[in-house]
A and B are shown apart, each in its own frame.
Chain A
Amino acid sequence: MTNKGSSFVYVTYIRTTPERLWSALTGKEFGQQYWRGASPEADWKLGGSWRLIRPDGQVNDIGEIVAFEPFKRLSIRWRNEFRPELKAEGWSLCTMEIEPVDEVVKLTLTHSIERESSKFIEAVSGGWPLILSNLKSLLETGSVGSGPMLCRG
């Protein structure tokens, strides 16, 4: 067991272009749709600040953009701000990589923290599949399903 820390790697294939996927990942209007209740706000550039806002206006997560390569790679240094036990675990790293594969685009999402059995990773790993499904259907069909809300006000 050599791997320290907690992480997951999620992959989804979306019928879209790297450009549209990038704009969905970095645009507020799209974000509100596929985040299902939460809303990302950021200064979209390297070193820019990033926050995930709950419907009631409270800050759920905070972070900093540590990689910003348009149409290819976005990394956010990310910490929960809303739940004390998750905030106490400190900083995580979330990376989104975009790669054209044949006629579609592969999105690889990695989220990790340098801590074994992380509650934070457990929490976000449960949320991401729905967000990624929503993102995929938003880009492929123009709408998301009406699944459960991730954050309630």
Chain B
Amino acid sequence: MGTIDDDAVFRALADANRRRLLDRLHRKNGQTLGELCEGLEMTRQAVAKHLKVLEQANLVSWQRRGREKLHFINPVPINAIAERWIRKFERRRLAALSALKNKLEGENR
């Protein structure tokens, strides 16, 4: 899975239908493919295809509940983008963290 790939996240978000699916999951999390299709002017196959792209970009996670596959919005990659391109402009490093970095690197395998 190409899941640590910012390109995949931006590509997935660059489609209005896929953003609409994310909006629907944001309103109601944990939906089946059937529920997600309700009221959309897209075929079930098209929705499934868009969901696959969103899953590969790690923007949608899923879980099995019995025979159903429930889809969930996964905002972690979006948060990472915000951290990288928005919040870093206000970033101030804390001295404690460099000490921690040294400790972590010391422990590294």
Contact = CB atoms under 8 A, between A and B. Distances in A.
B70 A133 contact: no
B105 interface: yes
Interface in A1-51: 1-3, 6-13, 15, 17, 20, 29-30, 33
A13 B72 CA distance: 16
B63 A9 contact: yes
B75 A13 contact: no
Contacts of A7: 29-30, 72
Interface string B82-94: 0100011011111
B42 interface: no
B1 interface: yes
Contacts of A142: 97-98, 100-102, 104-105
Interface residues of B, number: 40
B76 interface: yes
Contacts of B73: 8
Contact of B101 (A1, A15, A29, A143): A143
A35 to B, nearest CB: 13
A104 interface: yes
B3 A9 contact: no
Q: Which of A9, A29, A137 has the most CB of B within 10 A?
A: A9
A139 interface: yes
Contact of B97 (A6, A20, A104, A143): A143
B7 interface: no
A129 B80 CA distance: 8
Contacts of A129: 75-76, 78-79
Contacts of B29: 6-8, 125
B94 A10 contact: no
Given A9-B62, A11-B61, A11-B74, A33 B3 contact: no
Q: Which of B35, B74, B80, B108 has the most CB of A within 10 A?
A: B74
A30 B99 CA distance: 12
Interface in A124-153: 125, 129-130, 132-133, 136-139, 141-147
A138 B90 CA distance: 18
Contact of B100 (A33, A136, A147): A33
Interface of B: 1, 3-4, 29-30, 35, 58, 61-63, 65, 68, 70, 72-76, 78-80, 83, 87-88, 90-94, 96-98, 100-102, 104-105, 107-109
